[in-house]
Structure 1
Amino acid sequence: MCFEMNLQTLFQDFNPSKFVIHTCLLIFTALLALKLDKTITWSYWAVFTPIWIWKFLVVLGATIGTYVWWQYPHFRLEGEAYIHYKAMLISLAIHLILLMFELLVCDQLTTSRHVWILVFIPLIFISIVSIAICIWSVKHDRSYELELFCAVNILQFIFLALKLDKFIHWSWEVVFVPLWILMCLSLVGVLYSIIFAGILLRTPEVNVQQRRTSFNSALAYTFTVIPILVFQVLLTNKLDDGLSFTYIVIVSPLFISYATLIIMSFSSKGGNKWWFGIRKDFCQFLLSVFPLLQEYANIAYNNNNVNRSNGIPNELPANQEPYRDEETHKKVKENKRSAKNQKKNEAMKPVVPITSIDMPD
């Protein structure tokens, strides 16, 4: 079995935006459940603190990125700088409108002086605009998870507002029909990923990397969708039938989904390089800010004792007799010699050359 690990591979596909969002949502969900269970007596403004932190980082990142954009015009010539910058502004606009919705929700939960349909107007507006944003993102190969979530749930948002204002008297099981449909489609996607991963595992022509990737994807989708479905079933029973479970127990399946999404953020790649004006991958930015990490990035651990080129062990076990085949014995010597030369070259040249990192001007 081969196991290889180094700091560079850990952070080269890391998506800090998704990590921050899912972490804030996890903490907010736990605080809101504790508030509804009256375990904590904080105000809703304090319970929403993780959401405020999320939005503050978004505004701060866009502000710094905009400052760098206008202060250094020559940076605009770097690759797809205009597309990245425009995507950042679109994301900022969506988050500001979403912040308006969150402020109205918090005020409504505290004072009850609004009607819920008024509170949901910013969210419904985002859902309509998100359709056009999704089309633009597909054309320019940009991520659009938040926009897609809002676009497909516009009907669900309307039903929730009407139910909370008591304009409709449906059961919560009926109110959640749009979400049930979405979860059914998600389950189909999970089933497809599992079947596809199983086929690849039984196909000898597929390389090991593709098998591992498909298996990890199927596992991630399963641990993301299934807990959300369990949460939806528990919440519906709680609201309709007065299930005796506390809210912290009901939302506990969501913690599994959040933990899975946080782990997936280390392999999500992508991300807008203009947030905070870093203009580079997060791994390169991290190493440029903390040069001492370059030493750790040059360290890798590998427990593979077999030469991958021809499957011949690099060294003989202590209890095994020498090779009787002279040709095989020569191959072993050549493998040892090449391994020594490779170690010398690696000692002279770091894995992450300092010259390859773009230092800030």
Structure 2
Amino acid sequence: MNLQSLFRDFNPSKFIVHCSLFTFITLFCLRLDNYIDWPYWAIFAPLWIWKGIAALGASIGAIVWCRYPHYRLEGDSYTQFKAMLISLSLHLILLMFELLACDKLTSNRNLWVLVFIPLIFGSVASVGACVWAVKHDRSFELELFLAVNALLFVSLPLKLDGFVNWSWEVVIVPMWIVVCLSLVSVLYNIIFCGIMMRTPEISLQQKKAALNSAIGNACTVLPLLCFQVIIADKLDNELKFPFIVVFSPLLVAIFTLIILSFSAKGGNKWWFGIRKSFSQFLLSTMPFLQEYGNISYHTDNGGQSIPLDSTNVHLSEYEKHDKKSKKGLKNDSMKPVVPIISIDLPD
């Protein structure tokens, strides 16, 4: 394992989100199968932790933004701060939906149509957020997920409340459309990877990146397709499998996303007001990690620790010393060997 690239490319935001979803889905399936009898407020705890971290990170970032105005002049700070606020608003919308859904599952006193109103509103707002992200060259995964599933958030509560009598395969038609488009993307990545592998002018690093992208997309989209087929048959009472088995393809896809978060890069630098990449912040906070990650860093005039892409300084000094010693040995071997002459002196 290359710990240097692990520190540099790790995306903590995606790691937290995917781990929270993985834990929540596992607990929810065990609750539906009656393996555990926990209240739904405890089942939703991983999602509360996710939203709590997001709210805390945005609050600290806003405090740093207001308290230190000169930080606003650093690069694209305005764009990143606005992106953080947009992400926080979507997280709050998701939190409102989760609270209503948890209350519905616990007390059953509201209609599902009312529960899904925050998601419908969030889907409409996500369209504008996606346009803003494209205009400012920002990533928009959460915004895109909410925007493309707007029709699903309308048909799903209608089916749950009994207003429509459609089969579940018809209800999740918006998901079929999204997954089919994702399959086209997977096919494109596989073909592109094959072309890259057979082109000698392409560097080895680019070939590895194309291969990892193709494998990651395939291991994410194909399990999602299997999950949609199985969950539709399960809800239509055509399968008798437990929910933990039905949701296992979805868990495989989320686990793949957890692994991919270690090479996802990116991330907003204004979460928690750190104003730097996660690797730089981690090394400046805990410098002893440079020994394990084999990463050297130096302190500039501003007092910020900047990791270097080179190997450890001690290792480079050792290599220089080793070269000098080898050079000295080589020079000594080329000198003529003179026998030692012992001269006996008289007493």
- Once residues 289 and 268 of structure 2 are traced to their aligned partners in structure 1, the CA distance between those partners, rounded to angstroms, is 23
Q: Which residue in the other structure is 2:8 paired with?
A: 12
| Match for residue 169 of structure 2 among 162, 169, 173 | 173
| Match for residue 343 of structure 1 among 314, 319, 323 | 319
Q: Deviations over 1:275-302 (max 9, x none)?
A: 01111000010001101112223269xx
* Partner SS, residue 10 of structure 1: helix
- Once residues 25 and 202 of structure 1 are traced to their aligned partners in structure 2, the CA distance between those partners, rounded to angstroms, is 38
- Once residues 262 and 187 of structure 1 are traced to their aligned partners in structure 2, the CA distance between those partners, rounded to angstroms, is 20
> Gaps spanning 5+ residues in structure 1: where?
301-338, 348-361
- Once residues 184 and 242 of structure 1 are traced to their aligned partners in structure 2, the CA distance between those partners, rounded to angstroms, is 23
* Residue 89 (1) aligns with residue 65 (2): no
Greater relative contact order, per chain length (Cα 8 Å cut-off, separation 6+): 1
* Residue 139 (1) aligns with residue 115 (2): no
Q: Which residue in the other structure is 1:184 paired with?
A: 180
Q: Which residue in the other structure is 1:294 paired with?
A: 290
Q: Against the structure 1 CA distance between its residues 298 and 44, is the aligned structure 2 distance closer, same or farther, given a 3 Å change threshold?
A: same
1:242 CA displacement: 3.9
Q: Against the structure 1 CA distance between its residues 212 and 170, is the aligned structure 2 distance closer, same or farther, given a 3 Å change threshold?
A: same
For 2:236, the aligned partner's letter is D
* Partner SS, residue 194 of structure 2: helix
- Once residues 208 and 8 of structure 1 are traced to their aligned partners in structure 2, the CA distance between those partners, rounded to angstroms, is 18
* Partner SS, residue 101 of structure 2: helix
| Match for residue 215 of structure 1 among 208, 211, 214 | 211
Q: Against the structure 1 CA distance between its residues 340 and 131, is the aligned structure 2 distance closer, same or farther, given a 3 Å change threshold?
A: closer
- Once residues 227 and 234 of structure 2 are traced to their aligned partners in structure 1, the CA distance between those partners, rounded to angstroms, is 10
- Once residues 133 and 161 of structure 2 are traced to their aligned partners in structure 1, the CA distance between those partners, rounded to angstroms, is 35
- Once residues 346 and 100 of structure 1 are traced to their aligned partners in structure 2, the CA distance between those partners, rounded to angstroms, is 63
* Residue 106 (1) aligns with residue 102 (2): yes
Percent identity between the aligned chains?
A: 61
Name whichever of 206-215 and 132-141 sits farther off.
206-215
Number of equivalent positions: 305
1:342 CA displacement: 8.3
Q: Which residue in the other structure is 1:261 paired with?
A: 257
For 1:343, the aligned partner's letter is E
* Residue 35 (1) aligns with residue 31 (2): yes
Q: Which residue in the other structure is 1:319 paired with?
A: none
Spell out the pairing of 1:47-66 with structure 2 (5 A cutoff): 47-66=43-62
Q: Which residue in the other structure is 1:230 paired with?
A: 226
| Match for residue 204 of structure 1 among 200, 204, 211 | 200
Q: 4+ runs of 1 displaced by more than 6 Å?
A: 339-342
Query: Are the aligned partners of 2:120 and 2:150 in contact in 1 as well (CA < 8 Å)?
Result: yes
- Once residues 178 and 122 of structure 1 are traced to their aligned partners in structure 2, the CA distance between those partners, rounded to angstroms, is 19
Query: Are the aligned partners of 2:221 and 2:253 in contact in 1 as well (CA < 8 Å)?
Result: yes
Q: Which residue in the other structure is 2:158 paired with?
A: 162
- Once residues 173 and 221 of structure 1 are traced to their aligned partners in structure 2, the CA distance between those partners, rounded to angstroms, is 24
Name whichever of 192-201 and 6-15 sits farther off.
6-15
Q: Deviations over 1:222-255 (max 9, x none)?
A: 0000111111111111111341100000111112
1:6 CA displacement: 4.0
Q: Which residue in the other structure is 2:115 paired with?
A: 119
TM-score calculated relative to the size of structure 2: 0.85
Query: Are the aligned partners of 1:159 and 1:175 in contact in 2 as well (CA < 8 Å)?
Result: yes
For 1:344, the aligned partner's letter is K
* Partner SS, residue 151 of structure 1: helix
Q: Deviations over 1:62-102 (max 9, x none)?
A: 11111111111111111111111111111111111110011
Q: Deviations over 1:19-74 (max 9, x none)?
A: 00000000000000000001000011000000000000000001111111111111
Query: Are the aligned partners of 1:6 and 1:299 in contact in 2 as well (CA < 8 Å)?
Result: no
Query: Are the aligned partners of 2:7 and 2:293 in contact in 1 as well (CA < 8 Å)?
Result: no
> Gaps spanning 5+ residues in structure 2: where?
297-314, 324-347
For 1:63, the aligned partner's letter is S
TM-score calculated relative to the size of structure 1: 0.81
- The CA RMSD measured in Å over matched residues stands at 1.9
Q: Which has the larger radius of gyration?
A: 2
- Once residues 253 and 179 of structure 2 are traced to their aligned partners in structure 1, the CA distance between those partners, rounded to angstroms, is 14
Query: Are the aligned partners of 1:8 and 1:283 in contact in 2 as well (CA < 8 Å)?
Result: no
- Once residues 132 and 321 of structure 2 are traced to their aligned partners in structure 1, the CA distance between those partners, rounded to angstroms, is 47
Q: Which residue in the other structure is 2:74 paired with?
A: 78
Spell out the pairing of 1:248-327 with structure 2 (5 A cutoff): 248-298=244-294
* Partner SS, residue 245 of structure 1: coil
Q: Which residue in the other structure is 2:327 paired with?
A: none
| Match for residue 68 of structure 1 among 54, 57, 64 | 64
Query: Are the aligned partners of 2:130 and 2:140 in contact in 1 as well (CA < 8 Å)?
Result: yes
